[in-house]
Amino acid sequence: MKITIGSDHAATALKDEVKKVLAEFDAEIKDVGTFGTESVDYPDIAEKVCADVVSGESERGIVICGTGIGISIAANKINGIRCALCGDVYSAKMCRAHNNANVLAMGGRVIGSGLAGEIVRAWLTTEFAGERHERRINKITALEQKNS
């Protein structure tokens, strides 16, 4: 699986920790930045990560900012993206099983690297449950089309 990851300046440290966790999996990792602490705008990072997911270059994306809120809002503006902001393992499992979340968001100023690692492991190893949830995902897609 190929995964594109990106963060703003508030979360580069957590991004580096998450990349170590991704290395446990048979995953190709593309890091679109940012690198360092110079201030950048999280919508630009969301756009880069999500472009790879929408194009199919990557199967999944991970976006991280200070709270995870701004970057998840930005990601969810992009058609085809179902981005879930997770701060616990249960949500990480459920956003895969019920929502088929193709992008995971986290807050680098909210959670520590240990919890982030558990969230990423749960998110990568939980499959979409399909069935009734497929119908609901299709309705989300229809909402996107209605509003674009």
16-55: contacts with ligand RB5 (CB under 6 A): 42
**Residue 98 among the catalytic residues:** yes
| Residue 17 structure tokens | 């920790």
**Residue 133 among the catalytic residues:** no
- Residue 77: CB minimum distance to ligand RB5, A: 14
Q: Does 10 bind ligand RB5 (CB under 6 A)?
A: yes
Nearer to ligand RB5, 69 or 115 (CB): 69
Nearer to ligand RB5, 69 or 129 (CB): 69
56-75: contacts with ligand RB5 (CB under 6 A): 65-67, 69-70
Q: Does 6 bind ligand RB5 (CB under 6 A)?
A: no
Contact 92, 63 (CB under 8 A): no
Query: Where along the sequence are the contacts to ligand RB5 (CB under 6 A)?
Result: 8, 10, 42, 65-67, 69-70
